[in-house]
Amino acid sequence: MISIVTITYNNYQELKATLYSIKEQLKNFESTLELIVINGGSCCESKRFLSEFANRLRVEASERVNILVVNESDRGISDAFNKGVHAATGDAIMLLNSGDLLVAGALTYFQYARKLETENETAFLHADVIFNDGIAGKIRMAPRMCEKNLGQGMPYWHQTMIVRRRVWSGVGEFKLAYRFGMDYEWVCRLLQQGYRGEYWGVTPVVLMDGGGVSVTRELQSIKECFRALKENHLLTIQNIAGLVRRTILYFMRRFLIRVGAQQVLSYLKRKKYKQR
């Protein structure tokens, strides 16, 4: 069984879109799925929706979907995801941010992921996303897969990662000291311990929200990435060079936006990912 963990904090519209996308894409999923929602906010509308959604799902798909809703305050994104991972009972776990949507390729991807229940070699799966960029529009993005140069950023899109639960037990939970780069720091530990995954590049599986904290707080994320590399003894010349390059590109993008050259930036982004 696969467990999907979604967290939310007073973002009702994004939460609603995410859960409906899960329901829509997996309605024909033949295996059992577990859905865990960690709600750390005080929004009454979110609580009411979650109660109604959970009750309706239990009636419509009681044999195929187990749903758990936790309404309680938390200490941030890392803490909320940790709660979801601890509550998960599936063989593998996927973390889907509130605001990110499963798309048509998700059903086939989840069917393929059932191999994690029987094969011991693969620690996790990962796939492409469609990134909903505020300037360039929707862009299909393959993972960087830069395990040998972590300074460039996340080697995988964490929203698509389906990770064996035993791997979580081995690597440990997210560190609460990280507010934006907790997934990056976790992947540093994942790779240091020798875990390797498998890339499923058939179709994108997630429409990624371009307004997430890793995007809107990118500079803070870069600073936390440096800290993660340092704490995990990964400050190699190659990783430092990758981080410097990433920082320069960030300031170049900010400059283009400041001077009103969004069309140039859009062209460069779409060319980079070979989009028309």
- Taking only the tens place, the pLDDT of each residue in 58-92 is 777 666 788 889 988 888 899 999 999 999 998 89
**Closest among 95, 45, 101, 35 to 70, alpha carbons compared:** 35
- Determine the pLDDT at residue 274: 67
Distance between CA atoms of residues 152 and 146, nearest Å: 7
Rounded to an integer, the average pLDDT of 213-225 is 80
Q: What is the pTM of this model?
A: 0.90
**Closest among 183, 187, 208, 188 to 127, alpha carbons compared:** 208
Name the domain count of the chain.
Answer: 1
Residue 214: pLDDT band with limits 50, 70, 90: low
Distance between CA atoms of residues 48 and 20, nearest Å: 15
Q: Which residue has the higher pLDDT, 129 or 61?
A: 129
- Taking only the tens place, the pLDDT of each residue in 139-196 is 898 888 777 889 988 999 999 999 999 999 999 999 999 988 999 999 999 999 999 8
Domain of residue 139 covers 2-272
Contacts of 30 (CB under 8 A, 6+ apart): 64, 111
- Determine the pLDDT at residue 276: 47
The pLDDT of residue 212 is above 70: no
132 SS3 class: strand
Give the distance from CA 229 to its chain's centroid.
20
Residue at token pair 């972590």: 150
Distance between CA atoms of residues 81 and 87, nearest Å: 10
Distance between CA atoms of residues 51 and 1, nearest Å: 23
Q: Are 132 and 221 in contact (CB under 8 A)?
A: no
- Taking only the tens place, the pLDDT of each residue in 221-267 is 999 999 999 999 999 999 999 999 999 999 988 888 889 888 888 88
Q: Are 34 and 4 in contact (CB under 8 A)?
A: yes
Rounded to an integer, the average pLDDT of 5-23 is 91
The pLDDT of residue 135 is above 80: yes
- Determine the pLDDT at residue 62: 63
The pLDDT of residue 275 is above 70: no
The pLDDT of residue 209 is above 90: no
The pLDDT of residue 37 is above 80: yes
Distance between CA atoms of residues 225 and 232, nearest Å: 11
**Closest among 129, 212, 224, 242 to 184, alpha carbons compared:** 224
- Determine the pLDDT at residue 117: 72
- Determine the pLDDT at residue 126: 95
Tell me, what CATH number does 185's domain have? 3.90.550.10
Rounded to an integer, the average pLDDT of 95-122 is 86
